[in-house]
Structure 1
Amino acid sequence: MKDLGKLKYFLGLEVAREPEGMFVSQRKYALDTIAECGLLGAKPSPVPTEQNQKLALAKGPLLTDPGKYRRLVRRLIYLTFTRPELNYIVHLLSQFMQKPLEEHWVAALCVVRYLKGCPDQGIMLSSRADLTLTAYCDSDWSACPLTRRSMSAYIVQLGDSLVSWKTKKQKTVSRSSAEAEYRSMADATCELKWLERLLQHFGFSHQKPMRLFCDSQSALRIAKNPVFHERTKHVENDCHTVRDAVQSKLITTEHISTKHQPADLLTKALPAPQFKFLLSKLGIQQMFLPT
């Protein structure tokens, strides 16, 4: 065993310590990805994906070399460790690993051109934030044009620091947008419970109820109403973990407008101004780290 001192670089993760906290990025890994694609001199893209792009419905020639597509998508998956804004598009691109089309390759290169504009972007873990868990959840109803399944996403912050995020296609088809939002609330609630237990193992207790923000008034009413309505009987029992957590005062559900919903980043393609605004709410920063 040998003490190598404070962590600076490990498996592509670069760590810089400051009085304000710890900054984690993957700058060198992002630059290596850009260089491998031959886009070091390309024009940067303001967003990782274009709006109204239906990759699932793409019809065109197959990619002649699918191996390069798979390698690039695998690299992008690893970049989501510190780049949560890539979750949505990487989730889509990873569904076409078997038979990628030319259009899928172009979409993947758009992500690389986005990295070209901000390779040193990363997460700031504040040293002065309080140990309060806050979650934001969102869904895109019937997002998949092939299966009509919805997209769920959540973001969890510890104080002002981003600690957990996820984008995932729901397992079943939701009959309404409220049901889709409710399922995303259930996923976020389970993550909050797990993180609370993790804090307890470290010797920290969460005194106040954890806050869960959602932009669907219907889903919030379902979570707070103890009456089992006819319209919600088809929702699986495990989704009602939200209602149980609310009644036990483990969490509090609150409404947030869609314009200020940071989890919106993880469920759909957004215009550049809205994308940058929501990204700033997550504490994502750019900082040059020497290699």
Structure 2
Amino acid sequence: MSIVRTLVSCAVNFEWALHQLDVKNAFLHGDLHEEVYMEIPPGFGNSQTDGKVCKLKKSLYGLNQSPRAWFDRFKRVVVGMGYSQCNGDHTVFYMDRQKHITILAVYVDDIVITGDDAKEIKDLKERLGNAFEVKDLGPLRYFLGVEIARSSKGVILTQRKYVLDLLNETGMLGCRPIASPMDRNHKISALSGDPVNKERYQRLVGRLIYLCHTRPDISYEVSVVSRYMHDPRVGHMEAVYRILRYLKGSLGKGLWFKLNQHLDVEGYCDADWASNIDDRRSTSGYCIFVGGNLVSWRSKKQDVVARSTVEAEYRAMAVSMSEMIWMRSLLSELRVLRNNTMVLHCDNKFAINIANNPVQHERTKHIEIDRFFMKEKIDGGMLKLGYVKSDEQLADCLTKGLGPSDGVVICSKMGMVDIFSPS
């Protein structure tokens, strides 16, 4: 989804159109390169077919080979039209012709097309229609459960219908809303009460994880409750229901992509030191902006225990930098990158000083690989580190629970709005 959000940001800043296509019976278009046999379907067998099987000539739904066979066929068709497959993400194809760009992104049977070459986009639709059974859905409005609304001021991505269906399924449609998704000083641990229904808990958390595609305001909270999928307890389920109560009060919140007339890559990173009660590991969080619009974010518990706040912040910086480098390489390959230098904001001066200091210290031995990785990118001019005050740190909501007022301020700065709220 970060690819889709990046393409939407490019389309808004360059004022490109966004088109959507749907491939009917996509998996049936795949070509099998190995011998696959299936049992004769019930009702088609007789005494002459006893003990015999069918040999498949084309892929079918349900085969493990079907997704790979379909994408292989699709790739050969698109590359045959003169498009190049993107190395940053193999589901993205592009054509750069006479200073005009056309970009195609595919997810199973859903296709998004954008670019500034209107004639090529029209020809591409016709050629895809000749190769497959394709339905032109017009402007991009609904993609993978995400509702997309566009106006002259920009584009907004929401999952309001998804939230309503989730609340209706859980019986929380009439619940009393709450102002924050998690208590600021929560003490959730592995032994928070008695065990609960594991399948129900996993289903609820799984649906919340998918909701995070347009809701960075609940990413940290969902990250916390997803740590206990193997052994959910009463306290964990209560935390899930609190997230649902928060969603009830913010049904229409979504990401707002506006025209900023640039495509600079900018990031914010933060870490909450030793925040996990069970194993004292820290939580990393980052958010990446492309063209002034939020396209990528993450909240994740670190893999090892950090012995200091500097170490935790430094590890968060390294993870954020990896994401920004990938985003930069993707934009560069698509020929849309305008500024080669990225800026990463951090609220820890000690971590910034270590990254900019050419002299090694004893305190950096345990993060030596991350240190050399960052030093190489900074010395090469690819990245600049900037200091930001803690109250202006946008990644703060991805590392800890915030109060209602702080959450509203950060959500507003991240570009989250509610177009369904009464004026």
TM-score by length of 2: 0.66
- 1:113 matched to 2:245: yes
CA separation in 1, counterparts of 2:296 and 2:192?
A: 35
2:156/2:254 contact within 8 Å kept = yes
1:82/1:122 contact within 8 Å kept = yes
Alignment correspondent of 2:210: 78
CA separation in 2, counterparts of 1:225 and 1:20?
A: 43
Q: Which of 221, 245, 267 pairs up with 1:89?
A: 221
- 1:57 CA drift (Å): 4.9
- 1:127 CA drift (Å): 3.3
Q: Which of 378, 383, 395 pairs up with 1:263?
A: 395
Deviation string, structure 1 residues 191-222 (Cα, Å, up to 9, x no partner): 11111111112112343521110000000000
- 1:48 matched to 2:166: no
Matches within 5 A, 1:229-268: 229-268=361-400
Q: Which of 137, 151, 157 pairs up with 1:18?
A: 151
Q: Which runs of 5+ in 1 are unaligned?
A: none
1:160/1:283 contact within 8 Å kept = no
How many residues of Structure 1 are paired with residues of Structure 2 in the alignment?
A: 288
CA separation in 2, counterparts of 1:278 and 1:121?
A: 13
CA separation in 2, counterparts of 1:236 and 1:167?
A: 23
* Structure 1 segments of 4+ aligned residues over 4 angstroms from their partners: none
- 1:160 CA drift (Å): 2.0
Deviation string, structure 1 residues 224-249 (Cα, Å, up to 9, x no partner): 00111111112141343222211111
CA separation in 2, counterparts of 1:236 and 1:49?
A: 35
Q: Which of 127, 131, 136 pairs up with 2:259?
A: 127
Q: Which of 282, 293, 296 pairs up with 1:161?
A: 293
1:196/1:206 contact within 8 Å kept = no
RMSD: 1.4
CA separation in 2, counterparts of 1:129 and 1:250?
A: 21
Residues 59 and 188 (structure 1), Cα distance of their counterparts in 2 relative to 1, 3 Å cut: closer
The one-letter code sitting in structure 2 at the alignment partner of 1:141 is: W
1:25/1:123 contact within 8 Å kept = yes
2:313/2:348 contact within 8 Å kept = yes
Higher relative contact order (CA 8 A, sep 6+): 1
- 1:278 matched to 2:410: yes
Alignment correspondent of 1:99: 231
CA separation in 2, counterparts of 1:204 and 1:230?
A: 42
1:155/1:263 contact within 8 Å kept = yes
The one-letter code sitting in structure 1 at the alignment partner of 2:307 is: R
Residues 173 and 267 (structure 1), Cα distance of their counterparts in 2 relative to 1, 3 Å cut: same
CA separation in 1, counterparts of 2:268 and 2:209?
A: 22
TM-score by length of 1: 0.95
Alignment correspondent of 2:327: 195
Deviation string, structure 1 residues 94-150 (Cα, Å, up to 9, x no partner): 111122111111110000000001111111122344100110000011111222111
